[in-house]
Amino acid sequence: MEDVIINKLSYPILSTVIFLPIFGAILLLFISRSKESLIKWTALTVTVITFILSIPLFTEFNKSTHKMQFVERHEWIPQWGIKYYLGVDGISVLLVLLTTLSAIPCVLISWHSIKTKVKEFYIAILLTGGAIAGVFSSLDLFLFYIFWEAMLIPMYLIIGVWGGPNRIYATVKFILYTLIGSVLMLVGIIFLYLYGGRTFDILELMTGAYPYKLQLYLFLAFLAAFAVKVPMFPVHTWLPDAHTEAPTAGSVILAAILIKMGAYGFLRFSLPLFPQASKAMTPLMLTLSVIAIIYAGIVCLAQTDLKRLIAYSSVSHMGFVTLGIFSLNTQGVEGGILQMINHGIVTGALFLCVGIIYDRTHSRLIKEHQGLSTPMPIYAAFFMVFTLSAIGLPGTNGFIGEFLIILGAFTANKLGGVLAATGIIIVAGYMLWLYQRLFFMEVHEKVQGLSDIDMREMVALLPLIILVFWIGVYPVPFLEFMHSSVEHLLERVNGGF
């Protein structure tokens, strides 16, 4: 237990943020479908309370150590070495907070847009949030895999039941890609269990020294799952389809937290468990990251569907995240983790903005939304802030993450750093061109007379605006969370073990 710290709180905070949404979903089962208002307010109350109860993760976290904190450890299936084992460090704590925060705008933005099977929809939203929080908190591989797979079921329903006209195709593609990767990871977990002393304890497994060839095979097995989730080139094609067909809340979950599970997997498992293999695979990972940045950015320039453009921009921005992680230096890894948070905030906000306009016009075509600044000036101002953050304008959160990643990439591989930097230019090109087409062209007849954003929509977006400028102007508190954990991780990777 020397690798953990038991923080003294009056309640088990990690179990709370995982199971309170799940209990909230169970509570909704007992509310009549006819009481839609009560269903919505119950879901909103559960998400708000969950976020409030997760705040001590931010305020009580000890930033001076790499050790796991807020640990909960109980025997579960002792004959197989399985424990109910939860904890967070500087790599995962902000992701748990992002998960609890993201659930609130998902509920708010769906208030009027979801008109069928309302109860089932909010049950699926709550279950997804709880399962993803479990992924980021698990310190037992068996428990981690349960949450990893459990998340698929409600997400499958969110896209497949409440999605667009091609929702079945998008859902099946999403499930097939994810399941194939997950099955290969399961094989890797079983081998790791057998070679690691028949334990699923992640911290205990990290103390082992595995032969290089075994590390390589296991790295590839875990890569199959994590690369799909990120998603990395060339297994990225499920994401634009899923985003395009998902309801707004589904797109926000995908962008803000679900695809972070893949990048988190590299940090929690691939690098510390298979350090030699990670270093050997670094050239390939850097190459795939740069391809994703440039390729997806160029594809964005050709998009006519607003939602599909933002979806491809996610592929490009997550390329920066994996580039930072596999730079294998402090600046790159910290930039990658921070950019995971930034991407969750900004791309989630952009999908919220798309949902706001889609609820009014029932169209996602860029050409049908020209001149929006005339009827919706407040909406235009919000969209501008998130656009500038996506570009990486100094003073916004996007700048800090991208600067650290590019700095780390230059240190690791100068050519990779140069090519990735060109990706920032491409991002600026397609985002500014998008903004011009949406807000500064002649007013299209479809947007004439539209109402500006209301108080509910503003409440959903305001916390994200605050975070854009808070992280952009003063990122030190967020970087302090991860510094000790990143240093410890890199010591293990560079030590080779």
pLDDT tens string 258-313: 999 999 999 999 999 999 999 999 999 999 999 999 999 999 999 999 999 999 99
The residue to which tokens 């559960």 are assigned: 46
Cα–Cα distances (Å) from 134 to 6, 148, 229, in that order, read 18, 8, 16
Cα–Cα distances (Å) from 343 to 303, 332, 468, in that order, read 20, 16, 10
Q: Which burial class, exposed, middle or buried, applies to 284 when counting CB atoms under 10 A from its CB (0-12, 13-18, 19+)?
A: exposed
Helical (H) or strand (E) element with 75: strand 69-77
The predicted structure's pLDDT at residue 449: 84
For residue 463, what are its two tokens?
Answer: 């916390």
For residue 325, what are its two tokens?
Answer: 């992680």
Separation between Cα atoms, residue 112 and residue 31, nearest integer Å: 19
The predicted structure's pLDDT at residue 2: 53
The predicted structure's pLDDT at residue 442: 84
Which residues contact residue 197 at a Cβ distance below 8 angstroms, ignoring those fewer than 6 apart?
Answer: 204, 205, 208
Exposure class string for 300-332: b at 16+ Cβ within 10 A, else e: beebebbbbbbbbbbbbbbbbbbbbbbbbbbbb
pLDDT tens string 232-268: 999 889 999 998 899 999 999 988 899 999 999 999 9
CA-wise closest residue to 90 among 55, 151, 136, 49: 136
For residue 78, the SS3 value is helix
Question: Looking at the whole model, is its pTM more than 0.85?
Answer: yes
For residue 69, the SS3 value is strand
Residue 116, number of CB atoms within 10 A of its CB:
8
Q: What is the mean pLDDT of residues 204-230?
A: 91
Q: What's the N-to-C CA distance of the chain in angstroms?
A: 21
Task: Give yes or no for residue 496 having a pLDDT over 80.
Answer: no
Average pLDDT, the chain: 92
The identity of residue 133, as a single letter, is A
The predicted structure's pLDDT at residue 1: 44
For residue 401, what are its two tokens?
Answer: 């993450």
